[in-house]
Amino acid sequence: MKVKFIILLFGLLSSGILFAQSKQSSKHKVVIQFNDADSVSQTRVLMQVENIRKVWSNAEIEVVCLSGGLDLLTKKGSKLSQQVADWANKGVAFSACNNTMVLRKISKDDLLASAVVIPSAVIELATKQEEGWSYFRGGK
């Protein structure tokens, strides 16, 4: 009887320790769709990034820019290029949709240095969600 009790107690303690470790190692991952050229929306999406990091300081964040939202990542269209660079230096990924770039005749040279070109925003967003990332549409 004593042996069964010890085994049961050991099992409970072990599972509690594993649960605590898994909670500590969980990392928030957020992917944000951004497709608005408006400068107010550009400001808002970066405020949303800031708000996430205020609560989850080590959250992994990717801002996926397509359509008009690609302006956030272009040298000519971004009103917030310094803030994009600052967030990129803090680990936030800024992705530019290549499909949008082709449609709008934007080259890699037209993008801010911190922008990463991805083949398709839609595929990137779907893949991130399949991998368990939280998704929302940023800006307005």
Determine the Cα–Cα distance for residues 107 and 115; give it in Å rounded to an integer: 12
List of domains in the chain: 27-137 (3.40.1260.10)
Give the pLDDT confidence of 118-138 residue by residue, as tens digits: 999 999 999 999 999 999 999
Mean pLDDT of the chain: 87
pTM attached to this predicted model: 0.82
Provide long-range contacts, Cβ within 8 A and 24+ apart, for 73-78. 73/111, 73/112, 73/114, 73/115, 74/106, 74/110, 74/111, 74/112, 75/110, 75/111, 75/112, 76/110, 77/37, 78/42, 78/112
